[in-house]
Amino acid sequence: MTTPLRLGIAGLGTVGVGIVRIVQKHGDLLAARAGRPIEIVAVSARSKSKNRDVDLSGYAWEDDPVSLAARADIDVFVEVMGGHEGPAKDATEAAIAAGKDVVSANKALLAVHGQALAEAAEDAGRVIRFEAAVAGGIPVVKALTEGLAGNDITRVMGVMNGSCNYILTRMQDAGLSYEAVFDEANQLGYLEADPELDVGGIDAGHKLALLSSIAFGTQVDFDGVELEGIGSVTIEDINQAADMGYKIKLLGVAQLTGRGLEQRMSPCLVPDTSPLGQLEGGTNMVVLEGDAVNQIVLRGPGAGEGPTASAVMGDVMDIARGFRISTFGQPAGTLRKARPARAAVPAPYYLRMQLLDKPGALAKIAHALGEAGISIDRMRQYGHDDTSAPVLIVTHKTTRSALDEAIAAFGSTGVVAGDPVAIRIEAV
Amino acid sequence: MTTPLRLGIAGLGTVGVGIVRIVQKHGDLLAARAGRPIEIVAVSARSKSKNRDVDLSGYAWEDDPVSLAARADIDVFVEVMGGHEGPAKDATEAAIAAGKDVVSANKALLAVHGQALAEAAEDAGRVIRFEAAVAGGIPVVKALTEGLAGNDITRVMGVMNGSCNYILTRMQDAGLSYEAVFDEANQLGYLEADPELDVGGIDAGHKLALLSSIAFGTQVDFDGVELEGIGSVTIEDINQAADMGYKIKLLGVAQLTGRGLEQRMSPCLVPDTSPLGQLEGGTNMVVLEGDAVNQIVLRGPGAGEGPTASAVMGDVMDIARGFRISTFGQPAGTLRKARPARAAVPAPYYLRMQLLDKPGALAKIAHALGEAGISIDRMRQYGHDDTSAPVLIVTHKTTRSALDEAIAAFGSTGVVAGDPVAIRIEAV
């Protein structure tokens, strides 16, 4: 097979330009490895005149990605535009309809419309690959779908939003508040135009939903992801956690239990000596657990021109080499509908609240926990101002629903000021 | 494609039994993922009567793996016997000659005969896959060959022998000598029947040679691996290294430089805060660096029934899914002959020697280093017995050949007792 594989690239931001650079720089290397040349035929982006510091003169230009997707002279539609509706969706659908394979970096699109797109691709005999949509340069989709294909996957975990991990580690290192570091990150351009996509856990939640589908053979279900952002994490929580030997991470966890599919993306305490606990700055880490392999941990850059383009090219090379696989690792029609289960797996929790300086206050809290069947592992009360004192409790293993019951009961004790903060302690 | 993929398994030790267990336990899961059933048709091992705690009654038995390999009713020959000559080699060759695909866990066989086998497989239109031969359950061959196929690979590193890492971390944790921990490990059954395969770095060297070939498009060249085992590492070296913020690891490093292909498997100092430095016990870790992806780190179990069988099944599933790729990632005929380069990339070195208590002794050593163009970063002299004192030097970056020149010159100074120990400090 020495006919070239012809790409049409939609989106010439950082990632798109990165792909162009790789194809231009490594033509011989790619051809040697794939057994055929990889060629860019056409590109599309919003502005043709923007200087991108890369030579696009050899490629046809399309203003409309939908037109690009349908061109007769491309084999693979590479979608690196982003957005889960509008042009990205239209163009991806058009590409499949026109009989093109699709390589996508678009986590939002696939997390929301993945099942429909997978079915459409299957009907058309085309593949959709999306390594770049999850954890940037780390080949985690490949590891899970192919490398661990002999395993019953028991748990998938990951720190998959570099901006959040940057904020949390920077808070700890510099002793700064969430607000201060958020502003800093925003000014440095580390956050999405809508920062809530990052700090609200949505971007990472999209990634987790994609991994869950592959891991458990379920239809991708982003709505089933319990989302909790990092906005409520204070520098005090980080310091308290550190005192107890933990770090706070925005951690995604997916597990299939008897009660259903649990998908959480939320701040968690993890042991500071664990690989996840030691992860600093913008790096991503994914932990895959299976019944045969036990546990593997993958670490690498979660974003950026080179790493994301590397992931896109991995998919392109697979297609060039003739490797065709179902979007989520098995035929779309065989993926079961997930039954969402909220935090079904019990865990210890870290609880922080402001306790009013009233007689018997602590006893009332302890009683409310006891009534909910929650026992206390550790408790600390700190020096206080005139009217209230911070109290920190680490519970023994409990369910989130029992905890919510106890927290609701705190309200009627009349001794808690404001809302208690509860952070799960994840065994990693 | 719903015709079953039929396996013949040669070798029913830990790994072979692990494969049988997965196929028996996960039949539906494998079929759903592959789109076709995976079936074991025949098996072979030295003893038919041995109790393996697994039901083999549904499979044909072959005493001779060569006969198994040639059976008309198998599609894939799974070789989990081991050994780079004899039955494993004969049977693998027979399988290819009989038109079977091969999945192998045999690092020695492939490191020594990989090029010839890859050529034979290519001529016969068959594939050889060997994920299980490198770093156990970690899908590193897949990550490198496929996931990073868009990268010019700049460096591959790894701790790929769990027994050596166990010995080195146990020495440090328990403050024990190499000899004591070696005996302990041997009694626990952690070492190969010929322990030199482990502690001499041979097993890990085989793995490095396989990764090098994929990374750099060169013919696998185990003879080109500079091998140095861990036998000369003392508890004093480990403690000194720890004092300076380093751990000692049996580290494989492969780099293609202007001077040729550098492949080293030797004890190295790595920063104790790095992922490699933090690796404890029998776990493996591989670091892959490419021009686009920068660096990814993969960590997981390097051996054992489940992890190794998981890796074998990953390859089997790829074949079942119709994915066919050249043994070392590109056609065997296009792999260049490697030109071995010895430690071409300069590095700082840790030097330990026993200095005789003579006037001007230290000056003579410093002079010899200076003559070889080596400058000293740090030096320590310790309390000494009557006649000699341990001296520890950390050099600035130098080449191994300059260092060897200096060490040779030490001999003629008459102030050094015994052989100096030199350990490279690897930037990770």
Distance from the Cα of B358 to chain A's closest Cα (Å) equals 47
In this complex, which of A139, A143, A146 lies closest to B318 when CB atoms are compared?
A146
CA angle B13, B17, B19 (to 5 degrees): 125
- Domains of chain B, by residue range, sit at 5-133, 140-301, 349-425
Q: Which residues contact B282 (CB under 8 A, 6 or more apart)?
A: B162, B163, B165, B166, B190, B301, B302, B303
Contact A143 B139 (CB under 8 A): yes
B207 belongs to the catalytic site: yes
Question: Which residues of A fall within a CB distance of 8 Å from B139?
Answer: 142-143, 146-148, 296
Cα–Cα distance for residue pair B132/B113, rounded to 1 Å? 17
Distance from the Cα of B14 to chain A's closest Cα (Å) equals 13
Question: Which residues of B fall within a CB distance of 8 Å from A296?
Answer: 137-139, 298-301
Contact A325 B329 (CB under 8 A): no
For residue A322, what is the nearest residue in chain B, using CA coordinates?
A: B323
**Residue B85 to residues B93, B96, B195, B323, Cα–Cα distance (Å):** 11, 16, 18, 29
In this complex, which of A294, A317, A326 lies closest to B306 when CB atoms are compared?
A294
CA angle B366, B369, B373 (to 5 degrees): 130
Residue A269's nearest CA partner among A238, A295, A294 is: A238
Q: What is the DSSP code string of B406-428?
A: HHHHHHHHT-EEEEEEEEEE---
Residue B8's nearest CA partner among B89, B97, B101 is: B101
| pLDDT in the model for residue A384 | 66
Residues A130, A134, A137, A142, CA torsion sign: negative
| pLDDT in the model for residue B388 | 85
Catalytic residue, candidates B207, B247, B249, B364: B207
Among A residues 52-111, those touching chain B with beta carbons less than 8 Å apart: none
Interface test with A, best of B22, B279, B293 (most A CBs within 10 A): B293
Distance from the Cα of B301 to chain A's closest Cα (Å) equals 7
Cα–Cα distance for residue pair B65/B68, rounded to 1 Å? 5
CATH 3.40.50.720 assigned to B5-133? yes
The 10 Å Cβ neighbour count of residue B151 is: 27
Phi and psi torsions of B64, nearest 5°: -110, 120
Question: Which residues of B fall within a CB distance of 8 Å from A131?
Answer: 147
Contact B147 A314 (CB under 8 A): yes
Tell me which residue has tokens 């039994």. Answer: B17
Q: Determine contact: B280 vs chain A, CB below 8 A.
A: no
Distance from the Cα of A176 to chain B's closest Cα (Å) equals 24
Q: Determine contact: B302 vs chain A, CB below 8 A.
A: no
Contact B321 A325 (CB under 8 A): yes
Question: Which residues of A fall within a CB distance of 8 Å from B296?
Answer: 137-139, 298-301
| pLDDT in the model for residue B197 | 95
- Regarding an ipTM greater than 0.90, the answer is yes
Contact B137 A291 (CB under 8 A): no
Catalytic residue, candidates A89, A107, A207, A364: A207
User: SS3 of B20, please?
Assistant: helix
Q: Is the pLDDT of residue B396 over 60?
A: yes
Q: What is the mean pLDDT of each run of 10 residues along chain A (428 residues)?
A: 92 97 98 97 95 96 98 98 92 98 98 98 98 97 98 98 95 96 93 93 98 98 96 94 94 94 96 92 96 98 96 98 97 95 88 90 93 93 78 93 94 90 92
Category of A407 on φ-ψ map: left (φ > 0), alpha (ψ -120 to 50) or beta: alpha
In this complex, which of B32, B291, B317 lies closest to A146 when CB atoms are compared?
B317
Q: Which residues contact A411 (CB under 8 A, 6 or more apart)?
A: none
**Poorest-pLDDT segment among B159-168, B294-303, B336-345:** B336-345
Q: pLDDT (tens digit, 9 = 90+) per residue, B336-353?
A: 998 999 877 899 999 999
Cα–Cα distance for residue pair A186/B271, rounded to 1 Å? 32
Distance from the Cα of B220 to chain A's closest Cα (Å) equals 16
Interface test with B, best of A296, A318, A428 (most B CBs within 10 A): A296
Q: Determine contact: B22 vs chain A, CB below 8 A.
A: yes
Q: Determine contact: A189 vs chain B, CB below 8 A.
A: no
Residue B168's nearest CA partner among B265, B238, B243 is: B238
Please report, in angstroms and rounded to a whole number, the separation of the first and last CA atoms in chain A: 46
Which strand (E) or helix (H) includes residue B203?
helix B202-216
**Chain CA centroid to CA A148, Å:** 19
Interface test with A, best of B2, B5, B151 (most A CBs within 10 A): B151
The strand pair at A388-395 and A349-356 is best described as antiparallel
For residue A148, what is the nearest residue in chain B, using CA coordinates?
A: B314
Q: Determine contact: A314 vs chain B, CB below 8 A.
A: yes
In this complex, which of B22, B151, B322 lies closest to A292 when CB atoms are compared?
B22
What DSSP state is assigned to residue B332? G
CATH code of domain B140-301:
3.30.360.10
Q: Determine contact: A412 vs chain B, CB below 8 A.
A: no
Contact A150 B316 (CB under 8 A): yes
CATH 3.30.70.260 assigned to B349-425? yes
Q: Is the pLDDT of residue B57 over 60?
A: yes
Q: Determine contact: B295 vs chain A, CB below 8 A.
A: yes
Which strand (E) or helix (H) includes residue A371?
helix A361-371
Question: Which residues of B fall within a CB distance of 8 Å from A294?
Answer: 137, 300-301, 304, 306-307
For helices B107-124 and B202-216, the axis angle rounded to 10 degrees is 30
Cα–Cα distance for residue pair A116/A118, rounded to 1 Å? 5
What DSSP state is assigned to residue A347? B
* Residues B279 and B67 sit within 8 Å (Cβ to Cβ): no
Each residue of A163-191: b (16+ CB within 10 Å) or e? bbbbbbbbbbeeebebeebbeebbeeebb
* Residues B395 and B351 sit within 8 Å (Cβ to Cβ): yes
User: CATH topology of A5-133 equal to that of A140-301?
Assistant: no
Distance from the Cα of A344 to chain B's closest Cα (Å) equals 24
Q: Determine contact: A193 vs chain B, CB below 8 A.
A: no
